[in-house]
Amino acid sequence: MHIIITDTKGSGSRALEMSGARLTLLVLLAVLLSSAMAVWGYMQVLQLGARYGWNWIHQIAVVSNVVDDAEAKRLMRENLDAMARRLGELQARLIQIDALGERVARLAGVNYAPQDPPGQGGAETPGQALSSAEFSSAITDLQALSQTRLDSLSVLESQLFELQWQQAQRPTMRPVDAAHGSGFGMRIDPFNGQRAMHQGLDFPAPTGTPIRAAAGGVVVTSERHAGYGLMVEVDHGNDLMTRYAHASKLKVKVGDLVKRGQVIALVGSTGRSTGPHLHFEVWAAGRARNPVKFLASARSSTAQARAP
């Protein structure tokens, strides 16, 4: 762009050459300068109006404050409405948690009884939005209710843990992967042909077949017995003890902690035995019990767990 400057008498002239970028920068500077001057002038007028008490200046300030207050109230109301919806969602989530806790407790066979809040109801009437104080009170109530539910779920967790521990200590695992032969009760003794009490189950199996602990516990006996041959006894607590007899080899010693399913001996035919097998006994409160009942309870629990 070319700019020619001449004086009023036409006695002289001067030409200026300016590119488009420089012209754009010049225009921007002019706009910024004008805006700054306008803001400065507005501030000066407001200061003078406040100093001398001009009424129209006061009215402008009042209108500006009213607009600001209305916008602030609108934003606050929108936030309160959004938080109220979130509060309702959290209350619904607590109801779902209660339902889940009840189903889990029912499946596990334990008690779950959270203290429910007082029932409420009535006909539907036109509602009003919550105030800040009402919303704060509702949040406090929800916090107290959630803590109550947390306490109830903690009790449920401890009950389930205790139940799991008790089940792990019950001798419900088959000690040998084989069908049992001679059962619990009166039978004909294979050595003398007389009726005698058979206090366990016999599991015929090849020599060397692993014998596994029917439940976790502590080994209290690991020795050779005149009648039982090589024998292991495991104490499971709660007055429960299992005995594994006629082994060919012992894999544990007294005082060992054994886990459910751990190999503790190998099948053999030591002691008073007619052939390789495991003689398995379960003792509860000092009395021999039918091991079939314990093994059957394990199958029943598995079936219940698989049921829909």
Q: DSSP labels for 207-231? A: TT-EEE-SS-EEEEEEEEETTTEEE
In a domain, 73, yes or no: yes
Question: Which residues in the chain land under pLDDT 50?
Answer: 299-308
**Side chain identity at residue 179, one-letter code:** A
In a domain, 175, yes or no: no
Q: Which domain holds residue 89?
A: 59-113+131-169
CB 257 within 8 A of CB 197: no
pLDDT of the residue at 136: 72
pLDDT of the residue at 305: 37
**Together in a domain, 191 and 296:** yes
pLDDT of the residue at 142: 76
In a domain, 94, yes or no: yes
Alpha helices in 109-181 (DSSP H): 132-169
pLDDT of the residue at 113: 64
**Together in a domain, 106 and 192:** no
In a domain, 177, yes or no: no
pLDDT of the residue at 99: 77
Domain count, the chain: 3
d(CA 74, CA 68): 10
pLDDT of the residue at 10: 55
pLDDT of the residue at 306: 38
d(CA 174, CA 123): 61
Residue that is written with structure tokens 């209710």 in the block = 145
In a domain, 36, yes or no: yes
The CA–CA distances, whole Å, from 212 to 200, 258, 268 equal 16, 10, 14
pLDDT of the residue at 221: 97
pTM higher than the cut 0.75: no
